[in-house]
Amino acid sequence: MSRVLQQLGLRSKAARKFKHKTDKAHHNIAPNTLDRQFNPDKPNKTWVTDITYIKTGEGWLYLSVIIDLYGRKVIARQTSRYIDRHLVCNTLKQALFRRHFPKNVLIHSDQGSQYCSADFKQLLLQYGLRQSMSRRGNCFDNAVVESFFHTLKTHIIHDCYYKTRKQANKALFEYIEIYYNRIRRHSANGWVSPEQYEQQYYQNEKMIEAGTV
């Protein structure tokens, strides 16, 4: 093949592997404290986080989520056209605000440069949070969020075309906030939705405090 190309005055050009642009950060890796303990006994004890991407007619849209492992509820989601430290920091800030700034939560992620950035680590320190990271190249260490992304893509990303990022954001809002959190039954929750499972926990806590249990 190369000889034929030379005779025609052409040369082969290998396709470049697509790479997402990321922040260049020093990889200060945290230990895998979570160690696949995916079933905490209460909310706001362990949060898992990751980033995925959606193709649109305007280019890539990056989605960052944080999931509370107790009920598998997506407690924060942010999107951006850039996959950088600002995306994950904004997601963490949203989670903290929505959950009323709990202390000592274990935040588990992969070893992405965004989670190793000084800005993200400063947020963890500022709000009294602990950090855990998957072992390098081991997706099973963050299996819950990986499973969520698989389900998300099966339902609203694969075989779907979004002309604009706005259209994709609308679909993400409707799926995550309305369907997944409030309606979709989850096997880890005894086949109730993440929202319902959390409400059951808080109702039980109130009954214990009132001495009715």
Domain contains 7 = no
Asked if residue 63 lies in contact with residue 172, where contact means CB atoms within 8 angstroms, the answer is: yes
Domain contains 202 = yes
Domain contains 2 = no
Confidence bin at 68 (pLDDT 50/70/90): very high
**SS3 (DSSP) at 129:** coil
Could you report the per-residue pLDDT of 114-144, keeping only the tens digit for each? 999 999 999 999 999 999 999 998 999 999 9
pTM: 0.87
Residue 29: give its domain's CATH number.
Answer: 3.30.420.10
Q: Which residue has the higher pLDDT, 209 or 55?
A: 55
Could you report the per-residue pLDDT of 71-119, keeping only the tens digit for each? 999 999 999 999 999 999 999 999 999 999 999 999 999 999 999 999 9
Domain count of the chain?
1
**Range of the structural domain that residue 179 is part of:** 19-145+154-210
Asked if residue 114 lies in contact with residue 87, where contact means CB atoms within 8 angstroms, the answer is: yes
Q: Using CB atoms within 10 A of its CB, is residue 148 exposed (0-12), middle (13-18) or buried (19+)?
A: buried
